[in-house]
Structure 1
């Protein structure tokens, strides 16, 4: 196994100084910028290092591969989505209506930048066991967004709530893959996702 395959990205909570956190932010910003311009193939480690103004060796210490980079960038996009949703109550009388609203809003945001979405989705598809920590973090972020939509009045969630949110998240990510790869239109993707939500929540 290569060192890249066995290495892990440094999580933000393990960065002790403000300078290190700023460096990591610049790297993620550069990754998102390059992906937005040219998709998955445009994200090259040397290009990211140059745009982030860090040495290539430093970049590899933070993120061992472009897959680690892009999955971490997907986490950043979910953080932004969660922050935007926190500004006002999520509309909808039922859990399914609120979850569908959240997924529609997040999907529209991603589909509005197809190059970025293609890059983030392909990275999620290509991720192997070396990216397990980042994949888990992204999954937990998405589950958090969905459980808050399901039960906005509650501060605690049950294991069943989390399990349902994870299944909905899996269906949504699978639908995005279908859209990115051209197997489904945006309309078909939305319909499939909404049907799954209503079947799972049944409210």
Structure 2
């Protein structure tokens, strides 16, 4: 009897694989629909049609398009973390400029695929509590990585590493998004060089004395 149950277990795997493929198809379709129509007009009906699934099937995976947006943003954040983990041991041996270039270039690459979709995700979607929680969690992880890296680097000369970590992460995330998702063409190489130079000089320059010191 036991061997019979074991023989049935692998049959669940194809269903799980199909379910995952369907979920990914819905997400990919939603990304295209949001980029094409915007968030307000990017209805679940349009997403289901583009994904070639019934509206009922879509609702089995996501209760509404807000949940789809949260999943798309989570995928975007996870891709960014995976592409530029600042807690890598080998980064400590890099120059501050090398570290900043690695971080900035990875952030740019993570924003280049579809600027229109990024505008929709960041600017048009509702600020649901779950979405804000995901954004805060991503930012906290990134700041913690940057804090450890800056604290242990011999060339970092900022007066307050905690503040510096927050400034670096906020600057990269916000400025890269604004430049890559904003209107008009961007000279990406020049933009990368200027942002890396700005951050490097801030981190390695002599701290400015506070008033009264």
Superposition TM-score, scaled by structure 2 size? 0.55
Q: Structure 1 regions of 5+ residues with no counterpart?
A: 1-17, 154-159
Q: Please, what is the CA RMSD of the aligned residues?
A: 4.5
Aligned counterpart, 2:204? 202
Aligned counterpart, 1:100? 101
In structure 2, the CA distance between the partners of 1:32 and 1:194, relative to structure 1 (3 Å rule), is: same
Please report how far the alpha carbon of residue 107 of structure 1 lies from its aligned counterpart in structure 2 after TM superposition. Answer: 0.5
Contact 2:147 2:165 in 1 (8 A): yes
Please report how far the alpha carbon of residue 178 of structure 1 lies from its aligned counterpart in structure 2 after TM superposition. Answer: 4.4
Tell me, in whole angstroms, the C-alpha distance in 1 between the residues paired with 2:89 and 2:113.
Answer: 22
Please report how far the alpha carbon of residue 103 of structure 1 lies from its aligned counterpart in structure 2 after TM superposition. Answer: 1.7
Please report how far the alpha carbon of residue 141 of structure 1 lies from its aligned counterpart in structure 2 after TM superposition. Answer: 4.9
Per-residue CA deviation, residues 55-89 of structure 1 (Å, 9 max, x unaligned), is 3544553xx444x5334323312323433456995
- Is residue 38 of structure 1 aligned with residue 36 of structure 2? yes
In structure 2, the CA distance between the partners of 1:182 and 1:52, relative to structure 1 (3 Å rule), is: same
Report 1:75-114 matches (<5 A). 75-85=74-84, 93-114=94-115
In structure 2, the CA distance between the partners of 1:81 and 1:178, relative to structure 1 (3 Å rule), is: closer
In structure 2, the CA distance between the partners of 1:52 and 1:137, relative to structure 1 (3 Å rule), is: farther
Aligned counterpart, 2:167? 167
Question: In terms of Rg, which structure is larger?
Answer: 2
Aligned counterpart, 1:14? none
Tell me, in whole angstroms, the C-alpha distance in 2 between the residues paired with 1:192 and 1:52.
Answer: 44
How many aligned residue pairs are there? Answer: 176
Contact 1:100 1:194 in 2 (8 A): yes
Q: Structure 2 regions of 5+ residues with no counterpart?
A: 1-15, 154-159, 206-213
Contact 1:110 1:116 in 2 (8 A): no
